[in-house]
Amino acid sequence: MLGGGGVTGVAWEIGVLAGLADAGVDLLDADMFVGTSAGSVVAAQVTSGVPLAELYSRQLAGPGAEVAARIKLRTLVAAGLAMIGTRDDRAYRRRLGRMALAAPTGPAAERIALIASRLPVHAWPDKRLLITACDADSGEFVVFDRDGGVGLVEAVAASCAVPGVWAPVPIGERRFIDGGMRSPANADLADGAGSVVVIAPIARGGGRIARLSDQVAALRRTARVAVVMPDRAARQAIGRNVLDPARRAPAARAGKEQGLAVAEQIARVWTP
């Protein structure tokens, strides 16, 4: 389970996976991968067949032409106001969708092209891969997979479409926003698995966004579950703006160090 957390979250998650692999814990043997927002980028990358060491080394490169985005105060206020008076989580996501559709963001096509540049392979993998998103108009939670007729690039772009920051992604006649608007990692999609590892740059929920802790508690009734969240060093490396590509390399290095440090803990629950 790979959760959301911006460009620094992508880097940190890949670093954690690389550190675990160096310590002899290879999570790429998993039967299923679930990616939410930044985690969808990671999931698509690590199931692409490109060696993990290469994916990690790419995170150490500079930001290049990428510039930092930022979640503006008005977007945070609008998201908070969307919670007021909503009776259920779907109604909340509908409000977020309306806000996202009205926001002055760049064209969705540009964002899709950027996501395409981050994915080494644009075809769905043979591994079972689930990518989460939310319908901007209805608020419905949606899970994309290779059998759904949606391209991998479009699915990942939809999962990463943070409301108010990037435009909702059109797929057919529908438009989609970030899967993290339902849950930071949507860990409940692993229900029925025997062993689950959740790597989550952001764990907080609250209001109409499901808490990761609640989903993990439910999973632990029937499964062995390990959760990795940024430690103090990783939080410092990531910094305050998770959308700043200049923090990518420090986040990746901190993730690798943390992966090495937690390998024994993960190994106790991991049985692919």
H helices present in 160-247, as ranges: 212-219, 232-238
CA nearest to 144, candidates 121, 160, 162, 166: 160
From the candidates 89, 135, 178, 244, which is the catalytic residue?
178
Distance CA 194, CA 222 (A): 7
Distance CA 228, CA 45 (A): 19
Tokens of 219: 């999973």
Distance CA 5, CA 12 (A): 9
From the candidates 37, 40, 159, 183, which is the catalytic residue?
37
29 is catalytic: no
Instruction: Name residue, tokens 């620094």.
Output: 8
Tokens of 268: 């106790």
Tokens of 15: 């670093």
Q: 108-118 and 38-46 are packed helices; what angle lies between their axes, rounded to 10 degrees? A: 40
Tokens of 193: 């698995």
178 is catalytic: yes
CA atoms within 13 A on the CB side of 205: 22
Q: Where are the beta strands (DSSP E) in the chain?
A: 32-36, 128-135, 141-144, 169-171, 174-178, 195-199, 224-228
DSSP state of 180: G
Residues taking part in catalysis: 37, 178
